Structure 1
């Protein structure tokens, strides 16, 4: 596709400035302009002259010696953008020696698949082939709408003629997060004395921006290897939240359970979440079943017990973030229908019996049979969220049924599935106690803590047992997937939350450091900017769930749990009702000496700043004046007194023999906390 040279300046909107007064802008990976240029040359091959011109902004028509000249078949240059990006390629042809010249482009997220012959892959079976611009003549060229590659760091420019061609000004229009006028204008931030954690927080935020896309560029599955494209319309609106940038480019509700909260605390760009939820409810069956994934996979309707519940929890989360009662009202009848559907699987044991016929799909794990701990923990969590929403809607027509079904789940799970000898829950009751490690799942045990199935004593035991299985320097294994060969950032995201809830913030922070920072960011095979979907327990960046290694996504929203975990738990900044009308401040710094965090809701900004050193614990927090809440500070041994200064004056709390300093009934405003 060829356009007149002037058209590029009419179509591309260059964003004028950086992200205003957003703190810690130096960590933000999102661009302030959507027109991106490579930052370095990764490698070259064949006869290529003046490669440096490809990383400068000039054109041959504007100043001399600005063209890069390719001569001979197979000559190439690999450009490195320094981070994972997304979008369509544009370039100028300045001169050709004949009319038979063609220029092609290959794309790769990882350096493992840099090639002049092929791209990495969007599906199983083969590599994707180059994007070709054939029989080029002088002028401006840009990729069409369907050929905006969803994620890549490395762009290889290859020539396939025996003749020569001169090109310049190879750029990419950054197409991610189209709903954001300035992609770098974050509303939230996180900062600590640990640089690894700071980078992880912002890489998670950026990953979710890569996964927020124009809804008319969805779905990589089923595209031909030659001439791959993204051209399905998968939702309404200007942007939708997908699983991954490169692939599948489909709405998956399980992914949003992780990516949604991380978007809220960073960009607070909620439109992609809402459009994703709407696309799922559009395909709800009359009996209440919700699809495992969005269009077009929704049409196949492979139902999943867990992903059905995840969709309902996405509604709860969206309401908590936005306080949008009108939106909740618009979905309420469908939500109730959806909440009632899985209750039919609860039998006389008090647990849902999740046979392989009723839960064909989950996140990639096995063993979804019998009375499964993951499925039942998620169901319990979902029912409790449903009860909260029913109270908000002033509709208790289903509340007694929901409460009754929820009440029996913890005791039944303890009786049927807890194994004292392992300090973990078995995956399901078809497995004998004392079985192999793969019978005691990471996801189910983490969810048992998150949902409150496990009491505080067992939560601590689970946290310790999960930590004992870590594989340094790579991560925490999801033993329930592929016979224990998989490390899943998705499942490990729930483990992070379980460690925080169990009162072991140091475990969570340690795991973030060596798994997310040292491996998932800094391993040379990674993008150094976005998070991989999954990998092997031996540290091979190949997801064992797939048959085709280059298919693995290096920008996957379900891998971004640390972004929200650091804000909600390390910073201790949580909402207890929609939009933070009520709140709880409860920092868990672990070994961190300093944490600052903030996010925004329609009610205003919520901000915390903490210091924990040899002089004691101190800090400030500020919440909107129209809100109310409480503060709960975990205490170090020997703490004597807490001084809390706020809008209504100062108060002192004697701390003798207390493990937590707690003050409730606080009005909104700015507070100072000092513990000595």
Structure 2
């Protein structure tokens, strides 16, 4: 849409980026400095502005993605299922995040010129940092990492960019505990976001779960506690936080007893209590427990609207008002965090599905009067469908939104995921004033990569590095699923087949670990045979909805469920 001899797309608001000129008059080999790279581009246009002819040979580009990886193709995780669409989606998510992992000295500067543009700001320490996008902003955003971090873990397991990104945010923490909404150079201006503050804390939790690095957690622990306590001051007599910070991911405002912010706060407090137990530091646990205790009841009392089976954005909105008053992000987070009980979770899942706009996706009605589809917010919706036991909804949404549109539409790249687009499928992000700014390689759009592994494959860590685990597949209509990832304890892998005879499969976990299985059952399932490294168990199912076995050790297991 924007490639021409006069200009290309844009990193900033206000204008197009202009050509990068080589003022050369003699034959030879020429190279642009690495600060003049254009991250995550798909097309390179070469022009000349004279009337003479010119010949070029050996035009190459500098590979700048995942500089921390000696071999960028050396994925430690894998995914494969009988839907080739979802196989492509999983790997496109992994690749997108590699394009968003960059040399920290090539971040974007504030006010970069339109002519002679460059990426030359140092945004973190280390050899690689996880940015929001390969083109722009090329800044650390904690909300993005909540999605891109887990997707990196299950694919490349290259965690250095995540750690460096987290460090760059804590570097700018205020003495009262506030964490910046974004990394440097935006952190120097210090905007504060209630939700992104919580996302930073959850990124610490995720990183510890992926790595098991207790020393790293200890190095941040005092700052983490300070950060966890800061938003608690906004909890009032209602039991909910009264949000005064407007900054968020791009939604249309944030205020009052907001369902998204309070759900994320509740989720963050639960993670904080787990980390406190790991650290053996319960000095703040009573405060955190009391703060968390009132949130679910208050949210359900003040914000649930039974007439539409959704939560209102906040309690200043009249029940039964416009659709935009019932946000995608807040309702998804209410399910993820456990604000919604199982009955309401199912109702929310059904109501969100009813709003889908085929063939494009699920609308983020809270952004720009409902004219936006956000893969970021929809990533949380996917998780909510899985949590609500509507895995078939999640599979369907990933296939038509991520595969059919976000990969295969002619306006897309076929290999990476766009930041956002219009509800009519227009490949322009309505949140921005300058259409050419849209990023076609954005880490916050890669949720299916981790969701397919954790939920469809059912491969979940319940403590750091998978020391304890839970295997609970949710195939959602898929016939076969294979998935694997690695932690410092070793490899975790599952392989499932679902047919008219029932579910069967294998899973293998490191010998030093323990865990449990929770296998969903189809109607008519009669018995399950579980063959393990030490013995074979036979369970009579008797109409149960799931087969649950605890106290399993490491090793390889075979599961077979019989319907006759």
State the TM bucket, normalised to the shorter chain. Answer: over 0.9
Q: Residue in 2 aligned with 1:655? A: 541
Task: Please state if 1:519 is matched with 2:405.
Answer: yes
2:176 maps to which of 281, 287, 307: 287
Aligned counterparts of 2:434 and 2:478: Cα–Cα separation in 1: 40
Task: Please state if 1:162 is matched with 2:48.
Answer: no
**For residues 161-192 of structure 1, what are the alpha-carbon distances to aligned partners after superposition, in whole Å with 9 as ceiling and x for unaligned?**
11222211001121110000000000000000
Task: Please state if 1:174 is matched with 2:100.
Answer: no
Aligned residues: 562
1:187 maps to which of 76, 92, 96: 76
Aligned counterparts of 2:272 and 2:158: Cα–Cα separation in 1: 24
Retained in 2: the 8 A contact 1:220–1:246? no
Task: Please state if 1:672 is matched with 2:558.
Answer: yes
2:431 maps to which of 511, 523, 545: 545
Spell out the pairing of 1:350-369 with structure 2 (5 A cutoff): 350-355=239-244, 359-369=245-255
Aligned counterparts of 1:601 and 1:462: Cα–Cα separation in 2: 34
Q: CA deviation at 1:242?
A: 0.2
Aligned counterparts of 1:436 and 1:462: Cα–Cα separation in 2: 16
Retained in 1: the 8 A contact 2:467–2:514? yes
Q: Residue in 2 aligned with 1:261? A: 150
Aligned counterparts of 2:503 and 2:231: Cα–Cα separation in 1: 46
Helix, strand or coil at the partner of 1:171: coil
Q: Residue in 2 aligned with 1:39? A: none
Task: Please state if 1:252 is matched with 2:141.
Answer: yes
Q: CA deviation at 1:231?
A: 0.4
Helix, strand or coil at the partner of 2:18: coil
Aligned counterparts of 1:323 and 1:464: Cα–Cα separation in 2: 37
Q: CA deviation at 1:220?
A: 5.1
**For residues 437-468 of structure 1, what are the alpha-carbon distances to aligned partners after superposition, in whole Å with 9 as ceiling and x for unaligned?**
00000000000000000000000000000000
- List runs of 5+ in structure 2 lacking aligned partners: none
Q: Residue in 2 aligned with 1:469? A: 355
Task: Please state if 1:380 is matched with 2:280.
Answer: no
Task: Please state if 1:119 is matched with 2:8.
Answer: yes
Helix, strand or coil at the partner of 1:172: coil
Retained in 2: the 8 A contact 1:643–1:673? yes
Q: Residue in 1 aligned with 2:87? A: 198
Q: Residue in 2 aligned with 1:8? A: none
Q: Residue in 1 aligned with 2:456? A: 570
1:480 maps to which of 358, 362, 366: 366
2:198 maps to which of 291, 309, 313: 309
Retained in 2: the 8 A contact 1:478–1:484? yes
Retained in 2: the 8 A contact 1:479–1:485? yes
Helix, strand or coil at the partner of 2:441: coil
Point out which structure has higher relative CO (alpha carbons under 8 A, 6+ apart).
2
Aligned counterparts of 1:212 and 1:650: Cα–Cα separation in 2: 45
Aligned counterparts of 1:193 and 1:124: Cα–Cα separation in 2: 43
- List runs of 5+ in structure 1 lacking aligned partners: 1-111
Task: Please state if 1:218 is matched with 2:107.
Answer: yes
Q: Residue in 2 aligned with 1:235? A: 124
What's the TM-score, normalizing by structure 2? Answer: 0.99
**For residues 389-442 of structure 1, what are the alpha-carbon distances to aligned partners after superposition, in whole Å with 9 as ceiling and x for unaligned?**
000000000000000000000000000000000100000011011110000000
- Which is further off, 216-225 or 368-377? 216-225
Aligned counterparts of 2:8 and 2:252: Cα–Cα separation in 1: 31
Q: Residue in 2 aligned with 1:449? A: 335
Q: Residue in 2 aligned with 1:409? A: 295
Aligned counterparts of 2:52 and 2:110: Cα–Cα separation in 1: 36
Aligned counterparts of 1:404 and 1:156: Cα–Cα separation in 2: 59
Helix, strand or coil at the partner of 2:68: coil
Helix, strand or coil at the partner of 1:453: coil
Retained in 1: the 8 A contact 2:515–2:551? yes
Aligned counterparts of 2:47 and 2:369: Cα–Cα separation in 1: 41
Task: Please state if 1:503 is matched with 2:368.
Answer: no
Please tell me the root mean square deviation across aligned C-alpha atoms, in Å.
0.7
**For residues 587-625 of structure 1, what are the alpha-carbon distances to aligned partners after superposition, in whole Å with 9 as ceiling and x for unaligned?**
000110000000000000000000001222100000000
Helix, strand or coil at the partner of 1:203: helix
Aligned counterparts of 2:537 and 2:396: Cα–Cα separation in 1: 35
**For residues 51-96 of structure 1, what are the alpha-carbon distances to aligned partners after superposition, in whole Å with 9 as ceiling and x for unaligned?**
xxxxxxxxxxxxxxxxxxxxxxxxxxxxxxxxxxxxxxxxxxxxxx
Retained in 1: the 8 A contact 2:108–2:136? yes
Task: Please state if 1:400 is matched with 2:289.
Answer: no
Retained in 1: the 8 A contact 2:246–2:253? no
Aligned counterparts of 1:558 and 1:288: Cα–Cα separation in 2: 25
Task: Please state if 1:614 is matched with 2:500.
Answer: yes
Structure whose alpha-carbon radius of gyration is higher: 1
Q: CA deviation at 1:114?
A: 2.1
Retained in 1: the 8 A contact 2:259–2:330? yes
Helix, strand or coil at the partner of 1:158: coil
Q: CA deviation at 1:367?
A: 3.2
Aligned counterparts of 2:406 and 2:181: Cα–Cα separation in 1: 28
**For residues 631-654 of structure 1, what are the alpha-carbon distances to aligned partners after superposition, in whole Å with 9 as ceiling and x for unaligned?**
000000000000000011100111
Structure 1 or 2: more strand by fraction: 1
**For residues 520-561 of structure 1, what are the alpha-carbon distances to aligned partners after superposition, in whole Å with 9 as ceiling and x for unaligned?**
000011111100000000000000011111110000000000
Aligned counterparts of 1:136 and 1:617: Cα–Cα separation in 2: 69
Q: CA deviation at 1:221?
A: 4.1
Aligned counterparts of 1:375 and 1:150: Cα–Cα separation in 2: 32
